Amino acid sequence: MKLRGGRAAHRIFCTLIAALFAAAPLAAQTSRDDRWRQDLTYLATELPRRHVNLFFQLARPTFDAAVQDLDRAIPSLTDAQVMVGLARIVALAGDGHTNLWLTNTATGFRRFPLTLYWFQDGLFVTRASDTYARAVGVRLLRIGDNDVERIYGAVSPLISHENDYWVRSASPDYFVIPEVLQALGFIPSANSASFTLQDIYGKVFTLDIAAVPLTASLNYVLNPDPAQGFLPLYRINTSQNYWFQYLDNIKTLYFAYNQAAEMPGVPFASFAQQLQAVFSSQRIDRLVVDLRNNTGGNTAVLQPFINEFISSGGASALRGRLFVIIGRRTYSTALIHAIQFKQDMGAILVGEPTGNKPNHPGNVLNFTLPNCGLTVNYSTKFFTLWPTDTDSLYPDVAMELWSSDIFARHDPFFAAVLAYQGN
């Protein structure tokens, strides 16, 4: 093609082409920013509209200011930092059921191949990929140059919660998301991080741990290892929604209710008949209902059993010998059932305080942010189940869990049930 106008026209043509190429990154960046702003606007509009009452304890100006601050900051933030900002805004409501989980696969985040747990004596590694087997069973002190309590203080506002017990339960998952740690300024790279640990002999050592895909299939080392010996009842059959065992030597019927959902192939109605058959045919000195692993689900699954247990006189017959074990992961529907056992049957609650408040918003629905695909859960109903507005359902017999308990394969909660002598 021949240009008319000579060198001047050619220079103008080249200048226009250069300008177009120079503008391309800016256009892409603007498009990226606009997409995040669309999601933020959608969140800021839909969450107050759909929630039963988003501002039941949150001041509207505080919410609006947080939205405006994030909107202004978007051009200077990484995608991970924007997602952290969105989670922080949702968590402002102080409603544990209204949340945006950064553990969602839609984030595209990875993980460090560790499982952590907060005990009374600190944050410990209970599982790790075999590459980092040395980390299993030891205490985590620092990630990078940051001690774990400092990191805990930074991730807590990202986790929707009604009390600190739930943050202790959920926060370990955030400690092992490299993109979250980098977004908060704790590590320079999301590819790997330095973990400082302390073994049972007091020796401090450091491991450089590489991030893996969230769904990576790895060989894991556990402590305690179920293949190497006895495990307490609450640590077995955890993949089953419900199961029971009659302990003949101590005349105790143990019923673990791990998830409030029907189990494929084992309808709860049939399971309840088996449980009732044992209850009717055996000497039962105590019935133990273990809810410590149950984070909720559908109340309709267990409710017929509770109703039948009350109407048949089983609850009256076991007055003073019915125990319900609760903990930081006893949440939502499981909390509701714990209250029913306590109020309607006189159950003795043993363990830790629950992960959410007795009087709380719930009955969850959700929506998806249109561009990033993140799911936002929100409450549609308020439950008033307790005469006082306490931050947790507290046990009658309060227990603590220390690292030495789990590594020694001991269950202090169940031991407290067996040792209970009444008032």
pLDDT for residue 179: 98
Q: Does residue 26 sit within a domain?
A: no
Assess whether 196 and 215 both reside in one domain. Answer: yes
- What is the Cα–Cα distance from 395 to 388, expressed in whole angstroms? 15
316 found inside a domain? yes
Of the residues 169, 204, 222, which one is the last residue of a structural domain?
A: 222
Same domain (yes/no): 401, 319: yes
The verdict on residue 302 lying in a domain is: yes
Indicate the helix (H) or strand (E) that contains 375: strand 375-383
Q: What is the CATH number of the domain that holds 324?
A: 3.90.226.10
Helix (H) or strand (E) holding 379: strand 375-383
* Domain co-membership, 318 together with 202: no
**CA–CA distance, 347 with 345 (Å, rounded to integer):** 6
Residues 348 and 324 in one domain: yes
Q: Are residues 257 and 206 in the same domain?
A: no
In angstroms, the Cα distances linking 130 to 73, 157, 199, 260 are 41, 32, 17, 33
The residue segments making up the domain with residue 204 are 105-222
Structure tokens at 18: 């250069």
Q: If we measure between CA atoms, which residue out of 324, 321, 357 comes closest to residue 342?
A: 324
Q: Residue 231: count other Cβ atoms within 10 Å of its Cβ.
A: 17
Considering the domain architecture, whether residues 202 and 332 belong to the same structural domain is answered as no
pLDDT for the residue 315? 82
Structural domains counted in the chain: 2
In a domain, 64, yes or no: no
CATH code of the domain covering residue 153:
2.30.42.10
Same domain, 230 and 209: no
Same domain, 330 and 194: no
Question: Are 241 and 205 members of one domain?
Answer: no
Distance in angstroms (rounded) separating the CA atoms of residues 376 and 57: 19
Q: What is the 3-state secondary structure (H, E, C) of 37-74?
A: HHHHHHHHHHHHHHCCCCCCCCCHHHHHHHHHHHHHHH
Q: Can you tell me the distance from the alpha carbon of 72 to that of 67, in angstroms, rounded to the nearest whole number?
A: 9
Give tens-digit pLDDT for 84-114.
999 999 999 999 999 999 999 999 999 999 9
Judge whether 408 lies within some domain. Answer: yes
Predicted confidence at residue 21, as pLDDT, reads 39
pLDDT at 50: 98
CB distance 136 to 126 below 8 Å: yes
Q: Which of 159, 190, 222 is the last residue of a domain?
A: 222
The verdict on residue 69 lying in a domain is: no
Question: Which residue numbers in the chain have pLDDT < 70?
Answer: 1-30, 423
Does the residue 236 lie in any domain?
A: yes
Q: How far apart are CA 340 and CA 389, in angstroms?
A: 17
Q: Which of 158, 190, 222 is the last residue of a domain?
A: 222
Same domain, 216 and 321: no
Are both 410 and 281 inside the same structural domain? yes
Helix (H) and strand (E) counts in the chain: 12, 17
415's CB contacts (< 8 A; 6+ apart) are none
Confirm whether 57 is domain-assigned.
no
Please state the length of the chain: 423
Q: Is there a single domain that holds both residue 180 and residue 265?
A: no
